[in-house]
């Protein structure tokens, strides 16, 4: 059984993907790993680069852009994570979702493995992610965007009171970025998940296209009784939005993801007048294209 199976979904980030893979294979420690790259129909030669330069990678080259969760699920299935309750005997002990616009320090994988091995109650974990300018990628430790938490964030209260546990919960700005903390979710740019947690909750929800699927996975993992942790001892560089900034539908998909997540996890307990206000806010942010989405049911994996 391998220690870790790494799934990297790529779309038109050839140079960044190459650097990411170089850092992955430069990892130190006695690691038994398998790397799967799912190329989502890139037009920049990414798939050819992987085939030529990294023959040890298991490459899945798609002709179309399948979206982030569906492509990740292809990679997870290749690793042996078939579905809820169906895990192949040779599936690795951990699965790692990794973005192609990340760069790993040599000890990142070994340290994260040791951290999760030390705490069997951890279902998923992520490191400290920093942007190119050295600042914290705030998405690497998050609270679930409940209606109230989202209101505090988008009303600006989080900016006014970043050290408040109540108002700063969306990005957990109240916590020291250099200390470990239990969180609601880590980000899919580097999300390490325990084999047993995947067996209990299943794969990513393909109702999402991009954004939100990591939050939803974390929500289900926590609901299954596991904890999610941010591990500050590991720092990973994240370029961020290297692929999404090329996509004109990215902004729409963000708000569509928030709609799916809200309806799936919070609608049932939301008072009708508040529900209508939330829909109005989402339509304002995401545009009228969300109206069609509002009329459609949300799938459950």
Residue 301 has pLDDT above 60, yes or no: no
Work out whether strand 4-10 and strand 94-98 pair parallel, antiparallel, or are unpaired: parallel
Q: What does the pLDDT look like over 110-149, one tens digit per residue?
A: 999 999 999 999 999 999 999 999 999 999 999 999 999 9
Q: What is the mean pLDDT of residues 38-43?
A: 96
Six-digit token string for 89: 């005997």
Q: What are phi and psi of 135, to 5 degrees?
A: -80, 160
Work out whether strand 190-194 and strand 102-103 pair parallel, antiparallel, or are unpaired: unpaired
**Helices 272-286, 250-265: crossing angle, 10 deg rounding:** 170
Q: How confident is the model at residue 292 (pLDDT cuts 50, 70, 90)?
A: confident
Q: Calculate the average pLDDT of the chain.
A: 93
pTM, two decimals, is: 0.92
Q: What is the mean pLDDT of residues 89-97?
A: 96
Q: What is the mean pLDDT of residues 219-227?
A: 98
CB 97 within 8 A of CB 190: yes
The pLDDT, as a whole number, for residue 17 is 97
The closest alpha carbon to 184, from 233, 227, 122, belongs to: 227
The pLDDT, as a whole number, for residue 297 is 58
Neighbours of 166 (CB within 10 A): 12
Percent of the chain with pLDDT over 90: 83
Q: What does the pLDDT look like over 163-183, one tens digit per residue?
A: 999 999 999 999 999 999 999
Neighbours of 295 (CB within 10 A): 7
Q: How confident is the model at residue 82 (pLDDT cuts 50, 70, 90)?
A: confident
Residues 6+ away with beta carbon under 8 Å from 177: 128, 136, 232
């Amino acid at each position: 059984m391998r220690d870790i199976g790494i799934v990297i979904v790529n779309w038109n980030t050839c140079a960044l993907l190459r650097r990411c893979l170089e850092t992955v294979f430069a990892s130190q420690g006695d690691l038994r790993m398998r790397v799967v790259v799912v190329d989502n129909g890139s037009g920049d030669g990414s798939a050819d680069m992987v085939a030529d330069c990294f023959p040890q990678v298991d490459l899945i080259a798609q002709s179309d852009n399948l979206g982030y969760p569906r492509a990740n699920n292809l990679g997870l299935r290749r690793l042996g994570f078939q579905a809820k309750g169906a895990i192949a005997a040779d599936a690795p002990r951990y699965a790692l979702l990794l973005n192609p616009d990340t760069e790993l320090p040599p000890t990142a994988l070994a340290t994260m493995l040791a951290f999760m091995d030390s705490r069997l109650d951890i279902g998923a974990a992520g490191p400290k992610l920093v942007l190119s300018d050295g600042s914290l990628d705030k998405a690497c430790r998050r609270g679930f965007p409940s209606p109230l938490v989202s209101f505090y964030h988008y009303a600006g209260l989080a900016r006014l009171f970043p050290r408040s546990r109540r108002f700063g919960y969306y990005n957990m700005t109240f916590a020291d970025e250099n200390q470990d903390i239990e969180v609601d979710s880590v980000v899919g740019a580097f999300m390490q998940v325990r084999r047993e947690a995947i067996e209990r909750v299943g794969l990513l929800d393909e109702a999402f296209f991009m954004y939100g699927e990591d939050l939803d996975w974390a929500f289900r993992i926590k609901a299954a009784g596991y904890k999610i942790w941010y591990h500050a001892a590991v720092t990973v560089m994240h370029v961020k939005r290297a692929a999404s900034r090329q996509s004109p539908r990215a902004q729409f998909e963000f708000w569509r993801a928030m709609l799916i997540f809200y309806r799936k996890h919070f609608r049932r307990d939301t008072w009708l007048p508040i529900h209508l206000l939330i829909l109005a806010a989402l339509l304002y942010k995401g545009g009228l294209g969300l109206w069609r989405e509002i009329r459609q049911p949300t799938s459950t994996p």
